[in-house]
Structure formats: C-alpha cells, structure tokens
Amino acid sequence: MTIRKRLIVRYVYQLAAAGIVLLVLAAAIVLWMRQRFSDIGIEREFAPGGLSRMIQEADASPDGLLRFDPKLLGMLRQDGGWLQSLAEDGRVRQAFNAPADLLSRYAPGQLMDYWSGKASFPYRLFIWIQPRDGRLYTMLYGLRAPTDDLLRRAMDDGSLSRAQLSFPAATVALLDQAGAWVQVLDRAGSEYASWRRPETAPNSYTLTELAMRMHNGDMYNASLDSRYDARTGLTWIVHVPVRGADGEAVPARSFTPETVVLFQGIALFLLSAMLVVALLALWYGYRYGGPLLHMVERIRRMGSREDACESAQGPKPASGKKGKKRGDRMFAEMMGTIDSADEALRARARERQAAERHREEWIAGLSHDLKTPLSSIKGYAHLLASDTYRWTEEEMRQFALTIAEKSAYMDRLINDLALTYRLRHDAGAASLEPADIGALLAQSVQCAAAHPGYGGARVRCVMPEQQIVGRVHAPWFGRVVENLVANALIHNPPETRLTVELLERPGGGWQVDFRDDGIGMDAETASQLFERYYRGTDTDRAPEGSGLGMAIAKELVQAMGGRIEVRSAPGEGTTISLVWTSVASAEDGTERSAIA
C-alpha cells in the first residue's frame, strides 16, 4: 500500500475514532442532564418522581421492608413531606418523617375519602402503587407546605377595610418571623389590597404568571401559596422568600435550574470537544509532524557533511525501544533507510573516536604509570655509574633489588594495560570450561592470601556443602580473586579481616561474596571503584596497587558472563559480589552486552 493510501485510511480511522469518543461524551452528558432534571423536579415537587425513584433504588428485605436512599429521604424532608408504606389491609408498615397526628391504620373507604378530598385531612395526599420483585408496594405521601398555615391564618385574621389590609399583633409576629408578605387580588387578578409588598413585586397577575410563580418558586426565590375565597371572589396570596443555608434571602435567579443545567451540559460538551480536538491535534503533531521534521533534520545533517564528532553525538535514530518507530509506522521505510545510512556514518565516526580515545588513554596511562618507576631505575643507574662514590657490595645489592622490583612493576603494569585493552575491544577472548567453583575459589584465595605483605591469616574462605559447577576461565577467575583480595587487604587497616563465601542463588546461578570489616566507602567512591586509576598509583606499595586491579576484575567478570556488585558504607566494611545468574558462554554476545 502506498503512503498516500496509508494516510487516507489512517486519517479516516482516526477521525472516526474521535467521532465515537465525542458521541460517548455526548451520551454521558445527556444522561447526566437527565439525572439533574430529575433531581430538580424532585426538589421542586417530590411526588410522584421522587416516590418512583425511592422504590426503584431502595434495598428490599425478604419481609418486604424497604431501606431508602438517605439522599432521597433528605430531599423528602426538605420538601416538607412525609411517607408511609401501607400493607394491603391498610396497616402502616413503615413511616418516614411522619408527624404524630397521622393514623397507624387506614380503612379502605376512609383513605379514599381523604385522597379524593371528600373528607377533611390536614395534608395533601398522593398515593403511589408500584410493583417490584413480585410485590406490590403502596406508598402514601403527604405534604403540607410551610405557607399553608400562614395562608390560613392570614385569611382568618386579616381585616379588609377600604382596600387596606391589617392583621392582629400575633399574626404579624408569625408573618414577620417567616419574612412573608400578603396580597389580595380581585377577580381580574389586580391587587385589591396588600401588606408589606416590596416595591419591585408586581401588583397584578395573569393566570399564566400566577401558575408560573407557584410552580417555579425557586426561579423567583419565593414560595407562593394562594387560595380563592368563593364568598368574596378575592384571591389571597402569601409570599415567603427562599432562604439560603445562612438564613439570608436568596436573590432572584435570571434562569430556571433546568436552563442552567442545559447551559452546563452544552458548555461541558463544547469543552470536551475542544479537548478532544486539541489532543488529536497534538497527537497528529507528534505522530506525523515529529517524524517529518526529524527526517528533514536528519537529511540536512547528512547533506551538510558535518564533522565526525557532531555526527557521532547528534540526534539518535527515530527508532525507539523494541524497534518501534518514534513516528508512525507508515514512515518506516523512509525512516529505516535514513536510519541505516546515518547510523553507518555515525558508527564509523564512533569507531574513529573510540580508537583515538583509547590510543590517547593508552599513551597517557602508560606514560603516567611508567614515569615513577622509570625515574627510580634511572636514579639508581646514575648512582651506580657515578665515580664520586664507592658503594659497598651490600648497597649495590640493595640498588639491584630496587631496580628489579621497579622493573617487575613496570612489566606487570604493561601486561595489565594490554589486558584491559584487549578486554574492552573483545580481543583475545578465552574459552569457558566447566569447573568446580568451590575448589577453584579455595585454591585462588589460598594463593592470594599467601602474599607476605598481607600479615598472616586475615582471610577466611566459606564453602557450601553441595558442589557448584560453573563455566569460567580458570586463569581469569584466579586473577579476579587475587585482585579483590589485594584490594580488601591493601586499602584497609592491618587488623581487617576478609571473608570469601561461595553461595548458590535461589533462582539459579551462583555468586562469590568478598566481605571485609574495614573502613568502608562512601557512595561516590563505591560508584567509581572500577574506574581506571581512580585510586591513583604509588610504586612504594605492592604491585597490586597499580590502579588497574578493580577495572581488570570487572572486565574479566563481564567477559566470563557475570556481573560485579558493591555494597559499602563508611565504617561498616565493604561487600563485593561476583554474580553469575546463568550458565555463561564466551560466545554469547547478547548476554555479555546485556550484563555490561
């Protein structure tokens, strides 16, 4: 498939996926808006929507009792209502927020008269019958608005005289306590009289406006209750302001709660759509713009013939982890070709740099480490050749011993440098053969600890009961043990003890721990322990102090398929572990590179 077709197919898929995401978001927002509309309707008038939700969302026990949602019960109390669950014989099984003047049992005809208004009942009644789980639940919901008592008291105690409305002191106290004001309308809906009406309140109402104010009191932030007096033809209205949690009157709203929820839903969808578009744009920029700019930059660098140093250290290829492209796979062919060409150029540059660096290191290290012993040899040679003094046979023998010692040090140092160079360049790799690690380790430790400069039996070797066989190169393994023993005993006080322990790892493999009780190291020293010349050289020490011992040990362990670890702290000694987690193979280049 050509790149053009790939782009078309990919864009269609991605835009379709974005459209599906937007549809899912829209569906979620619509569901949220429906839930909010339901909550608003229940808050405004609990029955019948609240009753249906209470039964649907309640937890039912085997005996038919219901445990309602505390949130819905709170809305019921806020609405000023009460709830009774009736059995088929009219007995009250459960009651919630029920006042004391309610009956505990209703006769069928009695309840019907209360419900239809044929008999006097102090509450407005709603009967809700709903089946659930094979049972038929009958709920009786009653409500008496807070304004009912005020309206009844105002009509009973109010006095109308010449379009003036007045109340006794007790009634005034009740109205003041509620913050209420009263209006009396004639048959046309115009104000006939009023008591403490605010200046901003209307003085006439149409039928529609009066119904809107009674139903949407939260929009006007005032609860309105009215009653028509058929004897006089007047309509009495009581207004009670809605108060917030702090008891203060809430100002009137410009929009109904439903309108606010609608605006919120639209705004939420628009924000979600903008976020999806922004994420899609960022994703396009990263997946397509990034690879294109990367290829242009790579081609520019390759075409400008920049110097080898910058080419070797420039941007890495577009290939990321596990071979995946940093851009889209549709650019894999072009990017792969560019990567191959650029990597070949940079590999050659790296090889040249590495060869130059190793050559400089070789020369610098060799000149640095040979200067001091060579100076000693040169000085003693001048002394022996001088005619100014006559040396005794003992003095000449001492001079010869010093010259021989310095010459041996120089020979060992040259061999160490050559060995590290070969190891770092994978030259001179030795074959690994199965060996009894316990026997080989014991022999190597015994030879290393026998050095006269280490001061007697300071090394203890601990072996496991079972035999451990591993693939190593015996001379290299012995050299590693010799270097680690020398490092522990030379760079610690004379009383330091060293324990060498061979362990079998639980998950397979084996390890050797070199654990001393010496002065320990800080984190910085431990991190640079295997760097060449980190401790420097001092030809007054034993030959093991050339500064290459630990670097050689690390290179040899890695060449044999293992790894080396250090754990140390000042004053707590040092533990160096040689770890082989699997059977090593000298030809296994993958394992060696992973360990290194």
Cα–Cα dist 514/482, whole Å: 11
Amino acid at 166: S
Over residues 555-572, the pLDDT tens digits come to 889 888 999 999 999 999
What are the structure tokens assigned to 233, written together? 């033809």
Q: Is a pLDDT exceeding 70 seen at residue 185?
A: yes
Peptide bond into 251 cis (omega under 30): no
Share of the chain above pLDDT 90, in %: 20
The confidence score (pLDDT) of residue 44 equals 64
Q: Residue length, the chain?
A: 596
178 or 358: which carries more pLDDT confidence? 178
Over residues 438-491, the pLDDT tens digits come to 999 999 998 888 877 776 678 999 999 899 999 998 988 988 998 899 889 888
pLDDT band at 367 (very low <50, low <70, confident <90, very high): confident
CA distances from 157 to 174, 196, 234, 388 (A): 12, 16, 15, 143
**Nearest in space to 345 (alpha carbons), one of 322, 369, 315, 325:** 315
pTM of the complete model beyond 0.75? no
Q: What is the mean pLDDT of residues 326-336?
A: 64
The confidence score (pLDDT) of residue 351 equals 77
pLDDT band at 512 (very low <50, low <70, confident <90, very high): very high
**Nearest in space to 43 (alpha carbons), one of 266, 268, 256:** 256
Long-range contacts at 562-571 (CB < 8 A, ≥ 24 apart)? 562/595, 563/595, 564/530, 566/521, 566/526, 566/529, 567/526, 568/520, 568/521, 568/525, 568/526, 569/520, 569/521, 569/522, 570/519, 570/520, 570/521, 570/522, 571/519, 571/520
534 or 540: which carries more pLDDT confidence? 534
Over residues 238-274, the pLDDT tens digits come to 988 876 444 454 555 566 777 888 999 999 999 999 9
Cα–Cα dist 143/77, whole Å: 10
The confidence score (pLDDT) of residue 481 equals 92
Q: What is the mean pLDDT of residues 215-220?
A: 70
pLDDT band at 547 (very low <50, low <70, confident <90, very high): low
The confidence score (pLDDT) of residue 26 equals 93
Q: What is the largest CA-CA distance in the chain?
A: 153
The confidence score (pLDDT) of residue 82 equals 86
Q: Please tell me which of 293-307, 414-428, 431-445, 582-596 the model is most confident about, judged by mean pLDDT.
A: 431-445
Q: What is the mean pLDDT of residues 203-227?
A: 81
What are the structure tokens assigned to 313, written together? 């250290």
Q: Is a pLDDT exceeding 70 seen at residue 220?
A: yes
The confidence score (pLDDT) of residue 424 equals 67
282 or 563: which carries more pLDDT confidence? 563
Q: What is the mean pLDDT of residues 422-448?
A: 81
The confidence score (pLDDT) of residue 182 equals 92
Q: Is a pLDDT exceeding 70 seen at residue 388?
A: yes
Average pLDDT of every residue of the chain = 79
Name the burial class of residue 175, with classes exposed (0-12), middle (13-18) and buried (19+) by CB atoms within 10 angstroms of its CB. buried
Q: Is a pLDDT exceeding 90 seen at residue 516?
A: yes
Q: Using DSSP, how many helices (H) and how many strands (E) does the chain show?
A: 18, 19
Instruction: Return phi, psi of residue 185, to 5°.
Output: -110, 150
Q: What is the mean pLDDT of residues 379-387?
A: 82
